[in-house]
Amino acid sequence: MSPTIRAHTGADRHTMLGFIHELQKAERAMHESRLPGDEVAELCYARLLDQGAEILVAEMAGEPVGFVAGWLDEDDDPLQTDEWRRHGYISDIFVAPSWRRRGIGRSLLQAMSARLQGKGARRLRICALAANQTAIDAFRRFGFAPFEITFDKPLS
């Protein structure tokens, strides 16, 4: 059964805060840099709204089971060609754990891709923690390839 993908509305606030909380919790379990979900969920949601992000919600039998958010973005790096600077940026994607591996993430990516392409995007960008192998596998399967890699080294 395929999910229904629909635009987010103000009535999704409570659900969205829960999803963002869970997403942040999952990333915090993978990397110490991430703050606790309950500290950042409100802020993250407010930033998506302020940004004017496209937010799409996936439903199964009328129940929200995931979301994706993104917008048209432009890197300020003057060393990149215009084609590479302008892109559709997918900032967040989340599927509730009990609904994973059923194609819902792919449906959300497809829907956001079509939405951003319709607004003029000619390429898409998305990020994942290096430790998030599941997300990396899902993004590669969708056709994403690594572009830039950020390295970190703590200084004593």
CB 34 within 8 A of CB 24: yes
Residue 132 interacting with ligand COA (CB under 6 A) = yes
Residue 124 interacting with ligand COA (CB under 6 A) = no
Pick 150 or 156: Cβ nearer ligand COA:
150
CB of 155 to ligand COA, least distance (A): 27
Among residues 16, 40, 15, 44, the alpha carbon closest in space to that of 28 is found at 40
Pick 4 or 134: Cβ nearer ligand COA:
134
Produce one character per residue of 13-33: b if its CB has 16 or more CB atoms within 10 Å, e if not.
eebbbebbbbbbebbbebeee
Alpha-carbon distance values, 130 to 1, 11, 83, 121, 136 (Å): 31, 34, 26, 26, 8
Residue 47 interacting with ligand COA (CB under 6 A) = no
Pairing of strands 63-74, 54-60: antiparallel
- Using CA atoms, how far apart are residues 102 and 107, in angstroms rounded to an integer? 10
Residue 105 interacting with ligand COA (CB under 6 A) = yes
User: Residues with Cβ < 8 Å from 21, sequence gap 6 or more?
Assistant: 37, 38, 41
Residue 31 interacting with ligand COA (CB under 6 A) = no
Position among 5, 41, 55, 93 found at the interface with ligand COA (CB under 6 A) = 93
Residue 92 interacting with ligand COA (CB under 6 A) = yes
Residue 137 interacting with ligand COA (CB under 6 A) = yes
Pick 101 or 153: Cβ nearer ligand COA:
101
Give the residues lining the site for ligand COA (CB under 6 A).
23, 26, 92-95, 100-106, 128, 132, 134-135, 137-138, 141
